[in-house]
Amino acid sequence: MSNKLKIGVFGYGVVGSGLAHVLKNSKGLDASIVKVCVRDGEKERDLDSAVLTTNPDDILNDPEINVVAELIDDADAAYQIVKTALKNGKHVVSANKKMLAYHIEELIQLQWQHKVSFVYEASACGSIPIIRNLEEYYDNDLLQSVSGILNGSSNYILTKIFNEGLDYNVALKQAQDLGFAESDPTSDVDGFDTLYKLIILTVHGFGLFVHPDQVFNFGISNLSPKDIELASQKGYKIRLLGKVTKVNGNHVNLLVAPKFVKPEEHAYTVESHYNGVLIQGNFYDNQFMYGKGAGAHPTGSAVLSDITALAYDYKYEYKKLKYYGGLEYTNDMEVEVYLRYTNKDDLSLFEFKDISESLTGKEFNYVIGTLNLSQLIKIRQQIQGRDIFLAYLGDE
């Protein structure tokens, strides 16, 4: 892009203010924030009132603004903003994984149609440049799986519980106060945030659009001290993982669930709000990326990196979509799971093919066994609200 970057920012919360801070502290980029649109014009902010607005059109219809940074916590409003910005010929940077998970296919088409760039590195794994790497380096057929800890808040909570014995709700409150959690933190703890990120990584890693409803996701909100005790006795930690795997060469599966993690696995070492992504491929085997997955400055840095890329006319090429299509989604996969349940009738919902370990007691019942993921998808509405906890075993 030959022109100076004139940025219109939507949102001045954790990420928006983080971007302003890192931009102020980075030299050599000819870019400035000329307008910031927020929801509440009355809030106290460290911003010149001349740049502040509550009217989206002040950015979307300003011909001087050539880059829109969409950093708000409302996915529906974000979708409208991003669509209009692209249609108005503006380059767009976004951090909004929920919006992307539901609308990425349409927004990719729109950016092509209007010949602008749409980049969103901050939407997956905070400061880890995973999307750019999937685009540029893992741009061939060798990639077999991408898995890991994609959510900083849940990892922060699990670390605090395991390492310090902190109460779940206290740890969650800390994650919120530190700016790691989503405005609705159920997205973090119930695995939706991980799911949205995994969907984005699947587009870039495997060239496949998967609707969030197709994927089984389970979170950590039902975790009990008994689960932690059992995992610890076996020498495991519990971590919330997202995993996309190529199956039998022409299918792809996505899974989001807590996992019993062994000391020799990469995820075992990932603590606090850090994320860790394991990339597995033919011939190169395992590669691991690690970094801060949430918070103002790590995420602001990822947004700044996208803005800098725009200065060099960077666009995602979506090579996997264009040249490696043909993969289909499947949930027909065997998984080994740990299921802890309170009500004995709940066990009958699960069609275990074999059970390797079980315990039935007054207050604590569990089984470890194998079942098919497609069966879990079928019963996912039924298991909601029940006092059960589920974690998978097997490879990370």
Ligand X SMILES: NC(=O)C1=CN([C@@H]2O[C@H](COP(=O)(O)OP(=O)(O)OC[C@H]3O[C@@H](n4cnc5c(N)ncnc54)[C@H](OP(=O)(O)O)[C@@H]3O)[C@@H](O)[C@H]2O)C=CC1
Ligand Y SMILES: N[C@@H](CC=O)C(=O)O
The answer to whether the beta carbons of residues 231 and 240 sit under 8 Å apart is no
| Residue 301 interacting with ligand Y (CB under 6 A) | no
Rounded to a whole number of angstroms, the minimum distance from the CB of residue 348 to ligand Y is: 35
Q: Based on C-alpha coordinates, what's the Rg of the chain?
A: 22
Rounded to a whole number of angstroms, the minimum distance from the CB of residue 54 to ligand X is: 7
| Residue 151 interacting with ligand Y (CB under 6 A) | yes
Binding mask 66-95 for ligand X (x = CB under 6 A): -----xxxx--x-----------------x
The answer to whether the beta carbons of residues 303 and 71 sit under 8 Å apart is yes
CA 203/CA 67 separation, integer angstroms: 24
Rounded to a whole number of angstroms, the minimum distance from the CB of residue 273 to ligand Y is: 7
Q: Binders of ligand Y among 119-148, rule CB under 6 A?
A: 126
Q: Choose, by CB under 6 A, the member of 34, 51, 93, 122 that binds ligand X.
A: 122
Residue keyed to tokens 């039902």: 222
Q: Which is nearer to ligand Y, 257 or 367 (CB)?
A: 257
Rounded to a whole number of angstroms, the minimum distance from the CB of residue 165 to ligand X is: 25
3-class DSSP assignment, residue 360: strand
Q: Is residue 115 annotated as part of the catalytic site, yes or no?
A: no
The answer to whether the beta carbons of residues 293 and 151 sit under 8 Å apart is yes
Binding mask 174-193 for ligand Y (x = CB under 6 A): ------xxx-----x----x
Strands (E), the chain: 5-10, 31-37, 52-53, 67-70, 91-94, 118-119, 143-149, 216-217, 237-247, 251-261, 274-281, 285-292, 328-329, 334-341, 354-360, 365-372, 388-392
Candidate list 197, 243, 246, 292, residue with the active-site label: 197
Rounded to a whole number of angstroms, the minimum distance from the CB of residue 181 to ligand Y is: 5
| Residue 353 interacting with ligand X (CB under 6 A) | no
CA distances to 50, 58, 70 from 42, in Å:
14, 17, 20
CA 253/CA 37 separation, integer angstroms: 39
| Residue 180 interacting with ligand X (CB under 6 A) | yes
CA 345/CA 360 separation, integer angstroms: 12
Q: Binders of ligand X among 41-70, rule CB under 6 A?
A: 43
Q: Choose, by CB under 6 A, the member of 171, 294, 367, 376 that binds ligand X.
A: 294
Catalytic residue IDs? 197
Q: Which residues of this protein are in contact with ligand X, per CB under 6 A?
A: 10-16, 37-40, 43, 71-74, 77, 95-97, 122, 126, 179-180, 182-183, 294-295, 299
Q: Which residues of this protein are in contact with ligand Y, per CB under 6 A?
A: 126, 151-153, 180-182, 188, 193, 293-294
